[in-house]
Amino acid sequence: MTIDAHDLSGRPIIIGAGIAGMMTALALAPEPVVLLTKAPLGAEASSVLAQGGLAASLGADDSPTLHLADTLAAGDGLCDPATAKRIVEAAPAAIETLERLGVAFDRTTAGMIRLGLEAAHSRRRIVHAAGDATGVELVRALATAVRRTPTITLLEGLEARQLLIEDNAIAGVLAAGSSGDVALMTGRVVLATGGVGGLFHDTTNPLGSFGQGLALAARAGAVLSDLEFVQFHPTALDGPTRPMRLISEAVRGEGAVLIDENGFRFLKDLPGGELATRDAVARGVFRHLAKGHRVFLDARERPGANFAARFPAIAGFCHEVGLNPALEPIPVRPAAHYHMGGIAVDEAGRSSIAGLWACGEVAATGLHGANRLASNSLTEAVVTAGWVAASVAETAARSCRPSMPARIAPRPDASSVRSTVSRALGVERNGDELRDAIAALLSLVSNQDAASDPAAVGLMMAVSAVQRQESRGAHYRKDFAQKAAVARRSFISLDEAIDFARKLTDEFPMQLARSA
Ligand SMILES: Cc1cc2nc3c(=O)[nH]c(=O)nc-3n(C[C@H](O)[C@H](O)[C@H](O)COP(=O)(O)OP(=O)(O)OC[C@H]3O[C@@H](n4cnc5c(N)ncnc54)[C@H](O)[C@@H]3O)c2cc1C
């Protein structure tokens, strides 16, 4: 690839080409933009893996008010109600926008959009495509639209390594690819880099999703929010494949139940049973596994013989490992799946740094609170990409001449932090493990090597988790099992996390050394 960076100077740069990045680029057209992605378009993105679909109140028995109530209940007191209301109200129009862009959603024989049910939704409101291959269809249609849009300059195989800053505002992006390094000068950058699952051993996310956008923003000085809240999906296919294959909640929505090796339905007394919120089901599965049991999703009775017709993609990868879900229970375990936290953004997707926006999973809009309601993330990505695009479009381009670093940051690699993050920031947490993790991660953050950025993200998550001395939504502390009376969102910068970690390691050096 030969890039004349000068030619692209001043254009908004969107980093990441999942659903959030592609929708932002499409919504900005015909303004010329640069869409930069480290993988080929649509690959190495959670978007293409999405199964269940997008939540939108389209049913005759449904309304944005009901969708909002379910979202707030799942969020366990920590949602921003005004943002959540705006997003669920915009959801039906977002589905129309996607259809206009060529996404073919599943329809009933009468021609109506077919609506699925997922955990903690009080109504059928999950819009899906190709049964359980919603992400594949979304990415197919949006990638086609992107390639057809002449004003989108697509740079594939380029990894953003650093945001350049001038007078406390964004002034450019340093990126690296197989043909060398590139400096792109711009005062407008949108981060759409996805989640953090790749920081964990057990994850449904692409392994390249390890929070690079969070590191880029944090190193530029941005404020991040709610980083301690990681959603663990209760039913990832238990096997050696990484990312782990997901057995969508929609399968439980169609009647499948969780059993152990004795056929015992161990969650039947949990309020809501297998369709309780994800955090509750994930903890139930985690604890049953911790007692030495195996856990299976039993779809033999329901959806039973219809399994392959309703869930062709899941049936396909079950068959790859020699399982027929209509006849055999599927072995499952929890896996890191979705990050509620992210770059703190306002109602237009603006971060605390002038010229830096964020949308999709990397952003924390306040929609999800302490626990995301299933299928709200794709909806949020589509809706907020439109708001970000509008805000970027009304922000004037400016000429930028930032000072350049002596050398570009090395290619980040999360492999050396995965054990620490998985141990301390899993389904159940406790203060001692979090403090040990903070000490271990702090020692990696300043090395300026491949582990530094993933360690910085893990450190900010661990500091946020140790500071939240309560259990709420997806954040469960064994040493603080109760919920605090008042729900407060958390906000943190990298400097604050490092300061906190230094003080902690000064305060507890003996204890940390003993447990090392
Ligand atoms: C298995 C699975 C199933 C899911 N099912 C659903 C569902 O049914 N409904 C729902 O609402 N949500 C679902 N989710 C969550 C949802 O898919 C994600 O939250 C959403 O797709 C995130 O979109 P995104 O555009 O923010 O990020 P992604 O789709 O992850 O895209 C991120 C992009 O950023 C690029 N990138 C990252 N870092 C850099 C860098 N430094 N430089 C350049 N490029 C970079 C990546 O290569 C990628 O292109 C699911 C997630 C998974 C993993």
Q: List pLDDT tens digits, range 73-92.
A: 999 999 999 999 999 999 99
Mean pLDDT of the chain: 95
Higher per-residue confidence, 506 vs 206: 206
Q: How far is CA 25 from the centre of its chain?
A: 19
Q: How many C-beta neighbours within 10 Å does residue 147 have? A: 11
Q: Are 127 and 133 in contact (CB under 8 A)?
A: no
Instruction: Please state the atom number of ligand 1 nearest to the C-alpha of residue 216.
Output: 41
* Residues pairing with 173 in the sheet: 163, 184
46, 70, 372: which to mutate for ligand 1, most atoms within 8 A of CB? 46
- pLDDT tier at 432 (50, 70, 90 boundaries)? very high
Taking the C-alpha atoms of residue 179 and residue 193, their distance in angstroms, rounded to an integer, is 22
DSSP 156-193: ETEEEEEEEEETTEEEEEEEEETTEEEEEE-S-EEE--
Residue nearest to atom 50 of ligand 1 (CA): 50
Compute the Cα dihedral for 40, 19, 233, 489 and give only its sign: positive
**CA of residue 511 to ligand 1 center, whole Å:** 39
SS3 content of the chain, % helix, strand, coil (to 5): 35, 20, 45
pTM for the whole structure:
0.96
Q: How many C-beta neighbours within 10 Å does residue 23 have? A: 32
- pLDDT tier at 7 (50, 70, 90 boundaries)? confident
Determine which one of 86, 278, 283, 350 is catalytic: 278
Taking the C-alpha atoms of residue 286 and residue 141, their distance in angstroms, rounded to an integer, is 37
- pLDDT tier at 375 (50, 70, 90 boundaries)? very high
Q: β-pairing, 342-344 with 363-364?
A: parallel
Length of the chain counted residue by residue: 516
The answer on pLDDT for 476 being more than 50 is: yes
In percent, the amount of the chain with pLDDT more than 70 equals 98
* pLDDT value for 9: 87
Taking the C-alpha atoms of residue 497 and residue 449, their distance in angstroms, rounded to an integer, is 19
Q: How far is CA 111 from the centre of its chain?
A: 32
- pLDDT tier at 4 (50, 70, 90 boundaries)? low
Mean pLDDT for 477-497 is 98
The pLDDT tens digits of the residues spanning 314-348 come to 999 999 999 999 999 999 999 999 999 999 999 99
Q: Are 373 and 70 in contact (CB under 8 A)?
A: yes
* pLDDT value for 509: 67
Question: Which residue do the tokens 């169609």 mark?
Answer: 254
Pocket of ligand 1 (CB under 6 A): 15-21, 36-39, 44-47, 49-54, 134, 159-160, 192-194, 204-205, 208-209, 212-213, 246, 338, 360-362, 375-378, 381
Give the Å distances, CA to CA, from 121 to 105, 107, 214, 285, 454: 20, 20, 30, 20, 34
- pLDDT tier at 516 (50, 70, 90 boundaries)? very low
Taking the C-alpha atoms of residue 259 and residue 238, their distance in angstroms, rounded to an integer, is 14
**CA of residue 135 to ligand 1 center, whole Å:** 10
Contacts of range 500-504, beta carbons closer than 8 Å, 24 or more positions apart: 500/438, 500/463, 500/467, 501/438, 501/439, 501/441, 501/442, 501/459, 501/463, 502/442, 504/435, 504/438, 504/439, 504/466
The answer on pLDDT for 199 being more than 70 is: yes
3-state secondary structure of 152: strand
